[in-house]
């Protein structure tokens, strides 16, 4: 059963819950906004459905609700930070903000962070950059949950990548994992008792399967583009570990839990780099051509992020959709 909860009620409920679990009031408000925004904009698998998981990490000490990032190194437009195992969404928001500010000063800003935690909905930080009128690119590594191509054990992370590009007629925001389906999405299919629409990983015999339970239990998600996605995942992990000086995927796997991650945030300011006057016309022409594509019957072409404003407006008007069990699980923690 799906409920519709007013957005203001969702925010206030989460704020109270985070304060109860050791967050300062301002941090509780910021964290509540990031979780609520994910569900508001149609990504519940990394929004309200992750709240109790996140609080379990706080309870077990994997996430320190009072920790703040500390600066480790600074070289012109590059900064390296430690997240000190603080809340992943707040660390990511902070680091993207630093990258935005550096880009507005230098044209390009690069921030890497070590010892952080799961940032929840990756797309939040792409929207953060685009709404600040800069191009934002960011990625994170994860625990091992994808095989090397031809492998039979989890060695790679699904290492999500985000690209946000500002545009007056609608921002472009790509939010994608290196796996065909994120684990959050697979858990949604599992909870709903549905198969995935396409093969999403391997079973214990190494055969492709649409059964989310098989993939989740084996942690053998299918890389996007098969061997290409496996290679992409590998180099994103390498860059995250090198730039941040933090953990690589295999080191995260040794802990037995997904924490102590490494992340990278890169921003480019169109104004400083001399293409602010052309960005809307260039992107507009590309989008116009893209959307003019002929389709097979029943298919609709959309650019990344195109439907988010519509989803946001609908859910603001009608209430944030949330499964009864998920909402009750949140209320039970109050």
Q: Locate 236 and state its tokens.
A: 């994103």
Q: Locate 5 and state its tokens.
A: 């909860």
- Catalytic residue, chosen from 46, 118, 171, 250, is 46
Phi, psi of 324 (to 5 degrees): -55, -45
Separation between Cα atoms, residue 319 and residue 8, nearest integer Å: 9
46: annotated active-site residue: yes
Separation between Cα atoms, residue 22 and residue 253, nearest integer Å: 27
Q: Locate 106 and state its tokens.
A: 């230098």
By C-alpha distance, which of 37, 192, 56 is closest to 121? 37
Tell me the three state secondary structure of residue 181.
Answer: coil
Separation between Cα atoms, residue 74 and residue 96, nearest integer Å: 15
Q: How far is CA 125 from CA 63, 73, 80, 92, 218, in A?
A: 20, 22, 18, 7, 30
Q: Locate 328 and state its tokens.
A: 């009750």
Which residues have a Cβ under 8 Å from the Cβ of 287 and sit 6 or more positions away?
167, 169, 172, 303
Give 193's Cβ-side CA count (13 Å radius): 0
The CA angle 277-283-284, to the nearest 5 degrees, is 95
Which residues have a Cβ under 8 Å from the Cβ of 154 and sit 6 or more positions away?
144, 145, 146, 147, 218, 219, 220, 253
Q: Answer positive or negative: Cα dihedral of 210, 218, 92, 96.
A: negative
Separation between Cα atoms, residue 139 and residue 119, nearest integer Å: 10
For the annotated catalytic residues, the residue numbers are: 46
């Amino acid at each position: 059963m799906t409920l519709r909860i007013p957005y203001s009620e969702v925010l206030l409920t989460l704020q109270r819950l985070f304060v109860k679990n050791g967050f300062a009031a301002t941090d509780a408000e910021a964290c509540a906004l990031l979780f609520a925004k994910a569900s508001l904009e149609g990504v519940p698998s990394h929004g309200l459905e992750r709240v109790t998981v996140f609080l379990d990490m706080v309870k077990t000490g994997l996430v320190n609700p009072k920790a703040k990032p500390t600066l480790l190194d600074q070289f012109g437009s590059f900064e390296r930070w430690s997240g000190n195992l603080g809340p992943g969404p707040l660390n990511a928001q902070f680091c993207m903000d630093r990258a935005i500010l550096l880009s507005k000063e230098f044209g390009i800003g690069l921030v890497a962070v070590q010892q952080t935690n799961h940032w929840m909905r990756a797309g939040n930080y792409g929207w953060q950059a685009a709404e600040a009128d800069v191009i934002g690119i960011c990625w994170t590594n994860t625990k091992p949950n994808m095989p090397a191509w031809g492998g039979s054990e989890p060695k790679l992370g699904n290492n999500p990548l985000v690209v946000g590009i500002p545009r007056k007629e609608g921002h472009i925001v790509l939010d994608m994992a290196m796996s065909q389906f994120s684990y959050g999405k697979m858990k949604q299919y599992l909870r709903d008792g549905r198969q995935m629409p396409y093969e999403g990983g391997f079973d214990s015999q190494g055969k492709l399967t649409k059964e989310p339970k098989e993939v989740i239990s084996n942690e053998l998600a299918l890389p996007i583009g098969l061997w290409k996605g496996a290679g992409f995942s590998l180099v994103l992990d390498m860059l995250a570990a090198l730039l941040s000086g933090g953990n690589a995927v295999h080191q995260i796997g040794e802990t037995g839990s997904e924490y102590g991650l490494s992340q990278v945030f890169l921003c480019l300011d169109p104004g400083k780099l001399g293409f602010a006057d052309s960005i809307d016309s260039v992107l507009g022409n590309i989008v116009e051509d893209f959307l003019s594509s002929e389709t097979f019957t029943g298919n609709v072409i959309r650019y990344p992020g195109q439907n988010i404003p519509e989803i946001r407006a609908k859910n603001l008007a009608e209430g944030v959709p949330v499964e009864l069990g998920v909402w009750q699980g949140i209320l039970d923690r109050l």
